[in-house]
Structure 1
Amino acid sequence: MDYHFFKESPFKTLISFHKLIETLEEIASTNVDYRSNYAKALLEEIEPFPEFRTGIEDFNLIHNNETLIKYLLADLFPTALTNNEIKAVTIPFQNFTFNYTERFKKILHNAGATFDMAIRDFDGNQFYIMNCILILNTFYNQHFDFNKPLFYDIPDANGIMKHYRILYNADFMEIIPTDKAIKLTPDDIDLLMDNYDNIDLWKEKFPNKSWILKGFGIVSLFDASIESAISNLKSNLLKSETEQADNNQNFETIFRSIFKISDLKIGLIIYNEEDEKFIKPPYDDKKIGSFILNDMPEVDCKNALFGCSLENILEQNKPFVISNVKKFATTPGNEKLGEHFLRLNIQSCILAPVIKNDKLLGIIELVSAKPRELNSVNVNNLDLILPYLVDTLERYKNDMQHQIEAIIQREYTTIHPSIYWKFRREAQKYFQTNNPNKDYIFKEIAFKEVYPLYGQIDIKGSSEHRNETVKEDLRKQLKTLLEIFESLKSNTNLVLLEQRKFELQSFFTELNSPLKADTEQQIQRYIETEIHPILNNSKMDNECQILVENYFKKLDEKTGMFYHSRKKFDNAMSIINKKLASILDKKQVEAQNIFPHYYERFKTDGVEHNLYIGASIAPTKVFDSMYLHNLRLWQLQTLCEMELEHHLLKSSLPYELDVTSLILVFSSPITIRFRMDEKRFDVDGTYNARYEVVKKRIDKANIKGTKERITQKEKITIVYSHNQEETEYLNYIKFLQFKKILEPTIEQFEVEELQGVSGLRAIRVKVINYNKEQITENYSYQDLLDELN
């Protein structure tokens, strides 16, 4: 095992047995013969080695005289306990040990020859400061409390890591200042107390090798995987909220035992990252409160109460320590927070962040009515506690989040992320103020002054295609049944058989006419009730039996009917909808970077979408009309990409289908309101309803004075009302024509009058179907302006 010494130390270390030798000299002068003779003999043995008394600097002297040193230390290392105790001589905090007990030797042997024993999470800076604290406590009679346990992690013979707690006995050590030692004032000591992490300051006050550490220490180890206080803390944190309320005093007792502060109190605040606020847990008076918030339910992180004092917590995620609140309050900028604590009789405190995966979950508050009780030294004791608090606080936040989600799901619906904040705020109010004896009236959620964008890609003639596939399947099924009945030779009543053949032929002939709403259901019901019983109960020859078996194999399991043509059509519809919806959803995530906006889309016979953008959607951001123009250009580009994707997809579809695209432009801001009874958003007000009327009727409209639909395959139709909308979209179109996305020809026409709506106009332009790379590149409104200029 190699020995790795820390290079810098406030001590010059001299291993010396002088205190032990002095004790032996006293024993040698007594009248107890066996003790006196033993001491005299031992003193005679060590006489050739004056370094044993003056101090050993060459450690080879120790290795060369192991047996002699063992005899010298026999009273401290009894032979009877050597197989029980894990003990050795050491220099405190250094990785140098000798004179092991037999049990210690066995542990090191099992760890293997390559094992390097080092203190866990203990670096050179900690080593230096710990030695300085040893000087402060011993020479300056201070009471710096550093309770952070030190551990050796040592694997056993099976490779299982064992954790041993380290205890030091420094009774045989002496601390002596040299000429280089600096005499400290009370102010120096206070400064050190408040600056545990400032290694340069400690080295300034305790220069390298400015003190002498003379003597030896004894290290004792014991297996301490779970210590009593931590075990109690874990048990308390695992209890239900009700049990924690009843045992809050026990919870504080655990903290007091760790920090050794009799009046220690604890508090907690939760960090709401979404709103950048600290909020009080919704606990009653019996549970943990907050000293920062006191009677306030929440406070903004940028509130003047905090000022720059909590910069460590909010930005650096480090504990904030005030060892003397009265002194802290006299510093400019700290007055409000200091006076706030003084009003609560808090004289020292620690505000420590609880962090999981680099995210702040909350702040644990430790306070005392005595100054200097809590300081930058004993703040390190939190390392014992925080791992358990992290899991507990994360579990609490998750539970609260689940309850809020449950409220939203129950009272509202699944909400788009851009507007989730408003629903969450209402649910938060319920969660914090809910009184079980009083009904809470949930407010309707509304967003005022938002600009709507509507677009759709519709599968052209989907109803006609669907009807044709229904008729095709029915014809095939009826024809198959007629063939079976022609070959059916059985004891079946011939008159009944002829009657059923006549009825099947009548249905077959009826399919030559336009399909009525209930034709499919009539034929299906007839076949199931009149035809299938005959096929299942008639006796027939082998040839006919094979025809019947093949017929039943062709039936769809769910409908009991032929489903071949309709299946191709439905699969083609599904493929188109899935592909186009995936493009829209993917592009929409990118569009949120333009400006947060509400988005919803629906799959019907195609894909349609609604967008709403405005200041009320994202009140923390500054809204500008530039964002609306950007989103409109984005929408037009996205429909171009969806059109092209369909063109590339069409040839591989099981059933060839064309699509048409439509954009509705509406420049007047509207209000949308969440309908509590219907669990969905809808426009609000009579005037705004005009927008919904146009949406529902426009896709089936014709060009004014003709029978031609305003939408055509592979073309995008833009419907608008005002001249400025026309100018805006013509600019978009010309820009995309320049980028080889749209074809040069532009059609413009009036839209026929719809019920209650007139004066609509439209632009129609075709998408170039060979330039996918150019279409998938996103252009912004600024790109357009740059091009125009």
Structure 2
Amino acid sequence: MDYHLFKESPFKTLISFHKLIETLDEIAATNVDYRSNYAKALLKEIEPFPEFRTGIEDFNLIHNNETLIKYLLADLFPTALTHNEIKAVTIPFQNFTFNYTERFKKILHNAGTTFDMAIRDFDGNQFYILNCILILNTFYNQHFDFNKPLFYDIPDTNGIMKHYRILYNADFMEIIPTDKATTLTPEDIDLLMDNYDNIDLWKDKFPSESWILKGFGIVSLFDASIESAVSNLKSNLLKSEKNHTDGNQNFETIFRSIFKISDLKVGFIIYNEEDEKFVKPPYDDKKIGSFILHDMQEADCKNLLFGCSLENLLEQNKPFVISNVAKFASTPGNEKLGKHFLGLNIHSCILAPVIKNGKLLGIIELVSAKPRELNSINANNLNLILPYLVDTLERYNNDMQHHIEAIIQREYTAIHPSVYWKFRREALKYFQTNNPNKDYIFKEIVFKEVYPLYGQIDIKGSSEHRNETVKEDLKNQLEALILIFENQNSNSSLVLLEQRKFELQSFYEQLEFPLKADTEQQIQLYIEKEIHPILRNTKTTEIGETLEQNYFESLDEKTGMFYHSRKKFDNAMSIVNKKLASILDKKQVEAQNIFPHYYERFKTDGVEHNLYIGASITPNKDFDSIYLHNLRLWQLQTLCEMELEHHQLKSSLPYELDVTSLILVFSSPISIRFRMDEKRFDVDGTYNARYEVVKKRIDKANIKGTKERITEKEKITIVYSHNTEQTEYLNYIKFLQFKNILEPAVEEFEVEELQGVSGLRAIRVKVINKNKEPDSKNYSYQDLLDELN
């Protein structure tokens, strides 16, 4: 066995029996014959070994004289108790022990030859400091209380980890300072008292081997497996999910220690009261499964338990115990559940409800591959741990609700973190009212004097693409049906088939013209009502049968129509939107560092975003116009990166799509108000309506005096009203041209008059995309100023 001695210690250790020998000297001088004679005989036996008095440094002397040492320690290790006590001689806090009791020997033997006994969670620093505290308490008469429980974790013959609490007896030890020992002042002791974790300070006040530890200690162990396992369980349950790195293994080890069953496995299911279903816990990193659900993610609780009567579990809220699954399965009514468990090699099990205030939270499953291992007697051990499981599961349910609310807020509402504080303040006022149950008039959430930034990257010609794919799918479907009718059995009603074939060809000819609003629905309804019944109820040739089979296999399950071209388009649209939105969201996290601002984005036929920045959104920070300029430069850079990402992505799309990009510049501050009915922010008041009108119509606008759209593929269009905005953005463009992000050519033109809005102008510039990876570096407004200067 390794001694596992720590390299550094304030002690020079001398194992000595001098105190015990001095007691023998006193007994030898008494008049009690049997005691005196025994002591004299023992003293004579140890006489050749003066090291027993002066101190043993060579531990081989101990191993070579085990029997003599056993006689010397006989009064401290009574033979009558050797099979009961777990005791040995030791050096405190170190892994050097000898003179074991028989029970201790048996425990170590069962652990195996590869087992190395070491104190749990105990390192060299702790060892050093504990020895220093021993000196303070013994030599300096201090009373520092260090009651951290120390444990040995020792496996038994079945591989079950047993936990033994360590107790030390230091009555036979003596602490002696050497010349290297530092004399401590009261101030030194106070300093040590306030710096437990400062190992360098402790080593400075107690240099290595500056004290002598002479004598021996006695270590006594008691089996605290259940108490320790419960404590470990509490610690594990208190850990956050991300700190669980070893899956379900920790829990199974703990439960095996409590139940003393080597093959015990643990499962768990959660009860969803709202849906009346049992579901697996979503602990991906713990991988806690369920033996009841097995490969199902969830199941209706009424049908879950395989028709087996489990009133104790679901109605009486008591554990359901099956000590012998094979015997249980032979009872009528239990076959389904019994066979299910036997198929998983489960031969005994306990299913225990986890209940809080009469409410079922879930079921814990304990199973074993051996019959009778789990039974109604050891099921009582669950009483030790269920209270902690109840609290943990209740906490989990609360956390899950909070996560669900957070997801809803993130995905379905417009309450961005930048403005959350104002909603929270209003909600807090509601709770602070004397009677929050009464009708409370919530104040409107308004942010005044904020600067808007709007941008979009849109799928070019998405409506035309969608119509073309619809027409292509309809044509292909009609062609397939016409071919089937041409191969129908001649014994069928020729008049009806010819009529239907004529109607199909008429629909096909309609598709040569622009698609009308109801054309798709009209054709779909005709095929479902008139064509499909004929195909299913008429006989056909072998070729026709193959054509019909191929046709029906080509139909989409949901619509009953061909969905090939449209699927490619929809998939391409989804890929583009997802990619562009993810870039925008990722860059937005960085943009919040410029100055906290409101952000929202929408996926339509592309990705739109709204930003609002101003002092009212972040009142605890001083707002300056430089933050607005920084955010505008960030927005332009981000659209450049999104354009470039799309260019890299385009060739791999199932349906080729182009995009156009647009920025709307609006320098006048506006107010935004949270619309309670729509659960989103919108501009407030008629004064700010001009901004919304422009935003909704601008992407469809043409260059003044032409039929050309202001947006063009692979180019960014910046729409503005004032000369100062023009100068600002031309500087941004010049800077990004210098950084090799934008091409040199810049177009400037007027925008056609929109409804009630005139005087808009625009700048258009192309993003460099030839053999270029996206530049994810964010340049700041200061970078631009430095470059211009």
- Scaled to the shorter chain, the TM-score interval is 0.5 to 0.7
Cα offset for 1:233? 11
Cα 1:137–1:515 shift into 2, 3 Å: closer
Q: Output one character per residue of 1:743-785: Cα deviation in whole Å (capped at 9) or x when no partner.
A: 4333222222211222211122333442524766554333332
Cα 1:390–1:193 shift into 2, 3 Å: farther
Does 1:30 pair with 2:31?
Answer: yes
2:90 is aligned to 90
**AA matched with 1:419:** S
- In 2, Cα distance between the equivalents of 1:163 and 1:578? 53
**AA matched with 2:221:** L
1:71 is aligned to 71
Q: Output one character per residue of 1:78-123: Cα deviation in whole Å (capped at 9) or x when no partner.
A: 2232333232333444554443333334445566667665544555
Q: Output one character per residue of 1:366-403: Cα deviation in whole Å (capped at 9) or x when no partner.
A: xxxxxxxxxxxxxxxxxxxxxxx999999898766555
1:292 is aligned to none
SS in 2 for 1:772: coil
1:121-200 residue pairs with structure 2 within 5 A? 121-122=121-122, 126-127=126-127, 129-131=129-131, 133-134=133-134, 137-138=137-138, 142-154=142-154, 162-173=162-173, 193-197=193-197
Q: After superposing the two structures, state which structure 1 stretch, 39-48 or 199-208, moved more.
A: 199-208
Cα offset for 1:722? 1.0
Q: CA RMSD in A?
A: 4.6
SS in 2 for 1:628: helix
- In 1, Cα distance between the equivalents of 2:429 and 2:531? 61
Cα 1:104–1:500 shift into 2, 3 Å: closer
TM-score, length of structure 1 as denominator length: 0.68
2:674 is aligned to 674
**AA matched with 1:597:** H
1:255 is aligned to none
1:754 is aligned to 754
Q: Is the 8 A contact 1:599 1:611 kept in 2?
A: yes
1:720 is aligned to 720
Q: Is the 8 A contact 2:413 2:680 kept in 1?
A: no
Q: After superposing the two structures, state which structure 1 stretch, 56-65 or 749-758, moved more.
A: 56-65
Cα offset for 1:718? 1.4
**AA matched with 1:638:** T
2:661 is aligned to 661
- In 1, Cα distance between the equivalents of 2:447 and 2:486? 68
Q: Is the 8 A contact 2:414 2:600 kept in 1?
A: no
Cα 1:5–1:552 shift into 2, 3 Å: closer
Gapped regions of structure 1 (runs ≥ 5): 239-388
Cα 1:115–1:450 shift into 2, 3 Å: same
- In 2, Cα distance between the equivalents of 1:745 and 1:592? 32
1:16 is aligned to 17
**AA matched with 1:429:** L
Q: After superposing the two structures, state which structure 1 stretch, 449-458 or 150-159, moved more.
A: 150-159
Cα offset for 1:682? 1.9
1:429 is aligned to 428
**AA matched with 2:72:** L
**AA matched with 1:451:** Y
SS in 1 for 2:167: strand
Cα offset for 1:665? 1.0
**AA matched with 2:428:** K
Cα 1:542–1:16 shift into 2, 3 Å: closer
Q: Output one character per residue of 1:646-673: Cα deviation in whole Å (capped at 9) or x when no partner.
A: 4455555554444332221111222333
- In 1, Cα distance between the equivalents of 2:549 and 2:94? 89
1:346-745 residue pairs with structure 2 within 5 A? 402-405=400-403, 413-414=412-413, 418-419=417-418, 421-422=420-421, 425-426=424-425, 429=428, 437-438=437-438, 444-478=444-478, 481=481, 500=500, 503-540=503-540, 548-549=548-549, 551-647=551-647, 649-650=649-650, 653-745=653-745
- In 2, Cα distance between the equivalents of 1:192 and 1:655? 72
**AA matched with 1:425:** R
Q: Is the 8 A contact 1:111 1:156 kept in 2?
A: yes
Q: After superposing the two structures, state which structure 1 stretch, 478-487 or 659-668, moved more.
A: 478-487
Q: Is the 8 A contact 1:18 1:52 kept in 2?
A: no
- In 2, Cα distance between the equivalents of 1:229 and 1:539? 73
Gapped regions of structure 2 (runs ≥ 5): 239-386
Cα offset for 1:734? 2.7
- In 1, Cα distance between the equivalents of 2:213 and 2:678? 80
2:284 is aligned to none
SS in 2 for 1:463: helix
Cα 1:77–1:558 shift into 2, 3 Å: closer
Cα offset for 1:636? 2.5
- In 2, Cα distance between the equivalents of 1:595 and 1:100? 70
Q: Is the 8 A contact 1:599 1:612 kept in 2?
A: yes
Cα offset for 1:721? 0.9
- In 2, Cα distance between the equivalents of 1:734 and 1:543? 67
Cα offset for 1:584? 3.4
- In 1, Cα distance between the equivalents of 2:678 and 2:720? 30
Q: Is the 8 A contact 1:88 1:101 kept in 2?
A: yes
Cα offset for 1:519? 2.2
Q: Is the 8 A contact 2:88 2:218 kept in 1?
A: yes
Q: After superposing the two structures, state which structure 1 stretch, 572-581 or 408-417, moved more.
A: 408-417
Q: Is the 8 A contact 1:665 1:725 kept in 2?
A: yes
Cα 1:762–1:20 shift into 2, 3 Å: same
Aligned residues: 638
Cα offset for 1:212? 6.4
- In 1, Cα distance between the equivalents of 2:738 and 2:139? 84
TM-score, length of structure 2 as denominator length: 0.68
Q: Is the 8 A contact 1:176 1:211 kept in 2?
A: yes
Cα offset for 1:456? 2.0
Q: Percent identity?
A: 79
Q: Output one character per residue of 1:275-333: Cα deviation in whole Å (capped at 9) or x when no partner.
A: xxxxxxxxxxxxxxxxxxxxxxxxxxxxxxxxxxxxxxxxxxxxxxxxxxxxxxxxxxx
**AA matched with 1:699:** D
- In 2, Cα distance between the equivalents of 1:133 and 1:553? 81
SS in 1 for 2:640: helix
Cα 1:37–1:621 shift into 2, 3 Å: same
Cα 1:780–1:69 shift into 2, 3 Å: closer
Q: Is the 8 A contact 2:163 2:224 kept in 1?
A: yes
Cα 1:432–1:505 shift into 2, 3 Å: same
- In 2, Cα distance between the equivalents of 1:129 and 1:652? 64
Q: Output one character per residue of 1:575-606: Cα deviation in whole Å (capped at 9) or x when no partner.
A: 44344434434444444444443333323223
Cα 1:525–1:130 shift into 2, 3 Å: closer
- In 1, Cα distance between the equivalents of 2:455 and 2:483? 49
Cα 1:216–1:763 shift into 2, 3 Å: closer
**AA matched with 2:42:** L
